[in-house]
């Protein structure tokens, strides 16, 4: 095994292209590696990684480990886990960073267990103590009402970083780096399962997590029908529609709409909430929004503590008036 060194990002590639979460994690990884005066490496898994590998270097990686296999073309937890474990044991990084995507939520704790170390989950900020190289990870606790600083005293130090909390670096196509093929032995029995078919959810318009404007509805809407009005406002603003967990659990909208601790994390320029109380679990997924506008008939609703602008009133009166005003402004 190599001496302990370097920062390793476990990246994600989709159809041969570098995933946006990988671009984000490379940004924080670059800062951590520079603070420690170490190399920044990224491990990419898939069956065709030429384009993704070149992009990873442009986004800040010094070394790309290309882990290719036909069995890695589609996500299979056991195959990915074995590949990641092999890479970590061979390269022996001091720090491992992974995005807390759906895949990352499953893989990060299992990888930490196999390596016999702990894990800092759902991190909002990553830094290091330059005096001793210790990883410092800020993560929400108590349902997002407080932030704890986790100090990692083991090697490798592993952190799963929440999506959308770091902006990718500007890509530099002139950067030079090394691409290393990293073979792993996988067979049909490794995965313990087989991908028979991939059914992609067809989302109309902008993806929720990529939208600059998001309009979300909560339990106070009273049913699924009002979401059509939210769709109308979001369309005028060029945005997407979200929802609270209560609305999703009620079956009013699909789970892909959910914003919050157990849903999606969003960082829009404008976040409009309609009939959402502002529970800490919801705010954990939207607290990084640049501007929050809240509409709620309860003047004591928690959402107003985080909102820059608040309207106390019945959404059935406020929302149509707001939509009509936006329509007039956008069409004038």
Compute the average pLDDT of residues 142-148.
77
- Is residue 234 located within the same domain as residue 175? no
Decide if 197 is inside a domain: no
- Is residue 283 located within the same domain as residue 137? no
Decide if 62 is inside a domain: yes
- Is residue 65 located within the same domain as residue 154? yes
Q: Please report the pLDDT score of residue 321 as a whole number.
A: 96
- Is residue 74 located within the same domain as residue 174? yes
- Is residue 247 located within the same domain as residue 163? no
Range of the domain at 220: 208-331
Give the span between the Cα atoms of 200 and 181, in whole angstroms.
30
Compute the average pLDDT of residues 129-134.
87
Please state, for a pLDDT cut of 90, what percent of the chain lies above it: 71
Decide if 323 is inside a domain: yes
Decide if 94 is inside a domain: yes
Give the span between the Cα atoms of 171 and 61, in whole angstroms.
11
Query: How would residue 201 be classed by pLDDT, with cut points 50, 70 and 90?
Result: low
Entry field: residues in the chain: 332
Q: What is the pLDDT of residues 38-93, one digit of tens each?
A: 999 999 999 889 999 999 999 999 999 999 888 888 888 899 999 999 999 999 99
- Is residue 175 located within the same domain as residue 212? no
Query: How would residue 130 be classed by pLDDT, with cut points 50, 70 and 90?
Result: confident
Please state, for a pLDDT cut of 70, what percent of the chain lies above it: 96
Q: Which residue bears the tokens 């290719």?
A: 68
- Is residue 100 located within the same domain as residue 228? no
Decide if 286 is inside a domain: yes
Query: How would residue 261 be classed by pLDDT, with cut points 50, 70 and 90?
Result: confident
- Is residue 131 located within the same domain as residue 50? yes
Q: CA-CA distances (angstroms) from residue 224 to 54, 218, 252, 296, 326?
A: 45, 10, 4, 17, 23
- Is residue 168 located within the same domain as residue 219? no
Q: Please report the pLDDT score of residue 2 as a whole number.
A: 46
Candidates 64, 26, 25; CA nearest to 44 is 64
> Residue 191: which residues within 8 A CB-CB, separation 6 or more?
71, 76, 77, 78, 79
- Is residue 55 located within the same domain as residue 107? yes
Last residue of a domain, which of 191, 226, 255? 191
Give the span between the Cα atoms of 200 and 107, in whole angstroms.
21
Q: Please report the pLDDT score of residue 308 as a whole number.
A: 96
Chain-wide mean pLDDT for the chain? 91
Query: How would residue 1 be classed by pLDDT, with cut points 50, 70 and 90?
Result: very low
Q: What is the pLDDT of residues 319-328, one digit of tens each?
A: 999 999 999 9
pLDDT beyond 70 at 204: no
Q: What is the pLDDT of residues 228-241, one digit of tens each?
A: 999 999 999 999 99
Q: Please report the pLDDT score of residue 54 as a whole number.
A: 96
More confident residue, 298 or 162: 298
What is the CATH classification number for the domain harbouring 170?
A: 3.40.50.620
Compute the average pLDDT of residues 130-148.
84
Q: Name the packing angle between helices 102-115 and 77-91 (round to 10°).
A: 50
Among 21-25, 279-283, 292-296, where is mean pLDDT lowest? 279-283
Cβ count within 10 A of residue 150:
17
Query: How would residue 332 be classed by pLDDT, with cut points 50, 70 and 90?
Result: confident
Q: Please report the pLDDT score of residue 285 as a whole number.
A: 87
Q: Please report the pLDDT score of residue 305 as a whole number.
A: 93
Count of structural domains within the chain? 2
- Is residue 184 located within the same domain as residue 222? no
What is the CATH classification number for the domain harbouring 227?
A: 3.40.50.1220
Decide if 203 is inside a domain: no
Q: Do residues 45 and 83 lie in contact, with contact meaning Cβ atoms separated by under 8 Å?
A: yes
- Is residue 220 located within the same domain as residue 173? no
């Amino acid at each position: 095994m190599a001496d302990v060194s370097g920062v390793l990002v476990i990246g994600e590639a989709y159809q041969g292209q570098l995933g946006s979460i990988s671009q984000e994690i490379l940004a924080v990884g670059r800062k951590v590696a520079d603070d420690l005066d170490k190399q920044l490496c990224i491990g990419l898994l898939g069956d065709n990684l030429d384009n993704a590998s070149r992009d990873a270097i442009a986004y800040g990686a010094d070394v790309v480990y290309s882990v290719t296999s036909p069995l890695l073309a589609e996500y299979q937890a056991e195959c990915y886990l074995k590949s990641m474990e092999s890479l970590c044991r061979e390269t022996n990084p001091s720090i491992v960073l992974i995005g807390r995507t759906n895949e990352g939520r499953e893989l990060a704790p299992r990888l930490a267990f196999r390596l016999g170390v702990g894990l800092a989950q759902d991190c909002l900020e990553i830094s290091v103590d330059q005096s001793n190289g210790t990883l410092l990870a800020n993560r929400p606790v108590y349902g997002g009402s407080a932030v704890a600083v986790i100090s990692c005293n083991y090697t490798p130090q592993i952190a799963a970083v929440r999506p959308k909390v770091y902006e990718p670096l500007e890509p530099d196509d002139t950067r030079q780096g090394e691409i290393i093929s990293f073979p792993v032995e996988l067979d049909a029995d490794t995965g313990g399962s087989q991908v028979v078919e991939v059914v992609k959810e067809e989302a109309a318009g902008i993806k929720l997590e990529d939208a600059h404007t998001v309009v979300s509805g909560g339990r106070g809407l009273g049913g699924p029908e009002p979401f059509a009005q939210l769709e109308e406002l979001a369309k005028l603003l060029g945005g997407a529609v979200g929802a609270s967990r209560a609305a999703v659990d009620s079956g009013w909208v699909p789970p892909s709409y959910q914003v919050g601790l157990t849903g999606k994390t969003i960082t829009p320029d404008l976040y409009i909430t309609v009939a959402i109380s502002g529970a800490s679990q919801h705010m954990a997924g939207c607290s990084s929004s640049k501007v929050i506008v809240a509409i709620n008939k309860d003047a004591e609703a928690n959402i107003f503590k985080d909102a820059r602008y608040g309207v106390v009133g019945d959404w059935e009166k406020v929302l149509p008036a707001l939509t009509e005003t936006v329509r007039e402004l956008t069409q004038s």
